[in-house]
Structure 1
């Protein structure tokens, strides 16, 4: 089963400061474990939403919206793409993950459609 593991943005990640070196080292070790287990397919962090754009669709109309975007907790700061046996395995791995932010944070797991 393929899952996208989404690190939710926080005020800290949206501020765009450099990440804590200790957290990055811990995350590097965690990524090494994921790779050794054969489940890591891709991982990366994203720039703050102030660097992004959204395209709003309404019928044939298109409107470009410049970041930053409100609702920080609904934004994504980084992601992994994993191949796991099931959702329970994905949850178990996320529980082992170092906290990706200096304070409280959330990680969301979303399975991909598996079209036949």
Structure 2
């Protein structure tokens, strides 16, 4: 089963990852990759460097960032391969715990549809 753990952050918090956080995260990612549970992960550039493209009523609109109306934004993701939803949730909890007390981070965990599946 594959799951996408979507990392939501407050881009305006001013917090920067400490060397300890980066080292601890690197250790966790190496372990999960070695175990075949972490397929891919990445952080995203700030919304100031992003663009939103929207289709509404058959018309496309393009808006360049930053997107000041959003308190929380997607800051990164992890693509996981696990035996169960519970395992994906536990891995995500481990990821969040690495951040310590000073960070406010939220992850949304969603299973990827397999070929032929539909929503609902």
Calculate the TM-score normalised by the size of structure 2: 0.82
Task: Describe the shift of the 1:71–1:100 C-alpha distance in structure 2 as closer, same or farther (beyond 3 A).
Answer: farther
Task: Describe the shift of the 1:99–1:50 C-alpha distance in structure 2 as closer, same or farther (beyond 3 A).
Answer: same
Moved over 3 A (4+): none
Q: C-alpha separation between the residues in 1 aligned to 2:93 and 2:17?
A: 21
Contiguous gaps of at least 5 residues in structure 1: none
Task: Describe the shift of the 1:12–1:59 C-alpha distance in structure 2 as closer, same or farther (beyond 3 A).
Answer: closer
Q: How many residues align?
A: 113
Q: Which has the higher helix share?
A: 1
Q: 5 Å matches for 1:28-107?
A: 28-69=26-67, 70-73=69-72, 75-97=73-95, 98-99=98-99, 102-107=102-107
CA positional deviation for 1:95:
1.8
Q: C-alpha separation between the residues in 2 aligned to 1:25 and 1:76?
A: 22
CA contact (8 A) 1:5 1:109 kept: yes
SS state of the match for residue 33, structure 1? helix
Q: C-alpha separation between the residues in 2 aligned to 1:77 and 1:2?
A: 20
How big is the alpha-carbon RMSD for the aligned residues of Structure 1 and Structure 2?
2.1
Task: Describe the shift of the 1:40–1:19 C-alpha distance in structure 2 as closer, same or farther (beyond 3 A).
Answer: same
Calculate the TM-score normalised by the size of structure 1: 0.85
Contiguous gaps of at least 5 residues in structure 2: none
